[in-house]
Structure 1
Amino acid sequence: MMRRDFLRLMLGGASLLAIAGCAAPESKFKTYDGPQVTRVDLFKSQRLMRLYSGNTVLKQYNFGLGFAPVGNKLYEGDGKTPEGLYYVDRRNPNSRYHLSVGIDYPNASDKARALAAGVPVGSDIFIHGQGPEGRVATKRDWTAGCIAVTDDEIEEIYAMVQDGTPVVIYP
């Protein structure tokens, strides 16, 4: 009798574990049904990002920058984050950095400056999550010029900010 009860208990526990193992993991793709984000402002010196709808701040985040955070991006590999007006122009759902939202760097002014200096302008500036490097980074500013937030934060940003949204990056 005791052995049969023990077997039922073990089989029941195993069934519960099997069912729990089949549960779908939480998706990194969030939904957002609030006011439209009309502008993103990034203040490099304060490491502060604000998402606006009109003049109302919807969300605010702290972030990390390129490994050489002071000054405007001048050329590929300088470790700086660009400054100026850009627009969200793409997103990467399979980013190495969890999720990422791209800005249209380099713009015409960036290209002209690099051409005049005879240096490669660079590309692929994103607002992104941590990824493998960010999880082990010992410094706040560790990217090659991108803007890094936590994985949870990029999930919100990815859901809230649409392609075409202006991104103003201040020194």
Structure 2
Amino acid sequence: MRKKFIVLAAVIVGLFAYTKMMARIGSGSPPPQAPLAQQADLIRVYKSERRMVLLKGDVPISTYRISLGQAADAGPKQREGDEKTPEGRYEIDWRNPKSMAHLSLHISYPNLEDRHNAESNGFAPGGSIMIHGLPNGWGLFGESHRLWDWTDGCIAVTNAEMRDIWASVPDHTPIDIMP
């Protein structure tokens, strides 16, 4: 019994060390931007359906199944640490090719209204809400990550999908996150 415990502990410590190392390394080189005709000009997220759609005009160009914040069904993000995914109109305001997850696009949460609402209730609004792939080193989980909401408020997709999104979504693309 003691040997099994030692082996299990070693495996857990090894996975933790591997994940920490991969988080520092980053995701590798991002894909190039898609041709302008293939780039989205709007992202729409339907939280209740766990679905994200990239649109060009009114025409969907890609649809993705997503995972959200662990408390996503409890309404919009209200403060730091509530594990909710925000709701409202934002934009993609910067990108991180060396994030702790496979590539990430930053969502401009909190906006002025979000800040005001949080601060009037005595809270910090939080931030660092992203569209991202799986944590570095965990890509082998692929689509199974969708079995539950596991982020702290972000929108998660598979690594392959994140590469497509990265290429298809220019900076300043608006994103509507709906209940």
- In the alignment, is the contact (CA less than 8 A) between 1:30 and 1:156 conserved in 2? no
Aligned to 2:47: 44
The correspondence for 1:98, drawn from 90, 102, 110, is 102
1:4-43 CA-to-partner distances (Å, cap 9, x unmatched) read xxxxxxxxxxxxxxxxxxxxxx954244124331100000
User: Normalised by the size of structure 1, how large is the TM-score?
Assistant: 0.80
User: Normalised by the size of structure 2, how large is the TM-score?
Assistant: 0.76
Aligned to 1:32: 34
Counterparts in 2 of 1:152-167, with a 5 A limit? 152-167=160-175
Sequence identity (%):
42
- Of residues 63-72 and 129-138 in structure 1, the stretch that sits farther from structure 2 once superposed is 129-138
The count of residues paired between Structure 1 and Structure 2 equals: 146
The structure with more helix, counted as a fraction of residues? 2
Give structure 1 stretches of 5+ with no counterpart.
1-25
Aligned to 2:78: 74
Aligned to 1:9: none
Q: Is 1:115 aligned with 2:123?
A: no
Give structure 2 stretches of 5+ with no counterpart.
1-27
Q: Is 1:89 aligned with 2:93?
A: yes
CA distance in 2 between partners of 1:93 and 1:140 (Å): 25
What's the C-alpha RMSD, in Å, of the aligned pairs? 1.9
- Shift of residue 128 of structure 1? 0.1
CA distance in 1 between partners of 2:164 and 2:43 (Å): 13
CA distance in 2 between partners of 1:162 and 1:146 (Å): 18
- In the alignment, is the contact (CA less than 8 A) between 1:76 and 1:122 conserved in 2? yes
1:70-123 CA-to-partner distances (Å, cap 9, x unmatched) read 110010000100000001000000011110000110000100000110011101
Partner of 2:38, secondary structure, is: coil
Higher-Rg member (1/2): 1
- In the alignment, is the contact (CA less than 8 A) between 1:93 and 1:100 conserved in 2? yes
Aligned to 1:3: none
